[in-house]
Structure 1
């Protein structure tokens, strides 16, 4: 489970930095920045949902 979470976080950061790159490199009217940010938001929501489901089923829990 840890590997999945780490890979999702890496993908989120990669999408964020690709959006920053597209913001500075593309001309006006390009939609690549918006698509990269939409992907980042989708990945973040998917990660949150995955963690909520994993917590519900007891895969991840409180650490004491």
Structure 2
């Protein structure tokens, strides 16, 4: 589970980095920026984030992970 979460975080950061790259470098022949690549990268980032949240929620419900917060007295 730790490796899955780490891979998901790396995918989220990588997608955010590629969106930054497309925002800074991707211009069309007329000099105007093409936003489709940047929007696609940001959409993947949102998708990865939602998938990670759902997977963590399901793992908690199935008992694969347990909360380790401050114990209640």
Instruction: Spell out structure 1 runs of 4+ moving beyond 3 A.
Output: none
CA RMSD of aligned residues (A): 1.0
User: How far does residue 30 in structure 1 lie from its aligned partner after superposition?
Assistant: 3.8
User: How far does residue 63 in structure 1 lie from its aligned partner after superposition?
Assistant: 1.8
5 Å-filtered alignment, 1:42-57, equals 42-57=47-62
User: Which residue in 1 is equivalent to 2:46?
Assistant: 41
5 Å-filtered alignment, 1:1-64, equals 1-27=1-27, 28-63=33-68
Number of matched residues?
64
In the superposition, the TM-score normalised over structure 1's length comes to: 0.94
Q: What is the distance in 2 between the residues matched to 1:29 and 1:19? A: 12
Kindly name which structure, 1 or 2, has the bigger radius of gyration based on alpha carbons.
2
Q: Which is helix-richer, 1 or 2?
A: 1
In the superposition, the TM-score normalised over structure 2's length comes to: 0.83
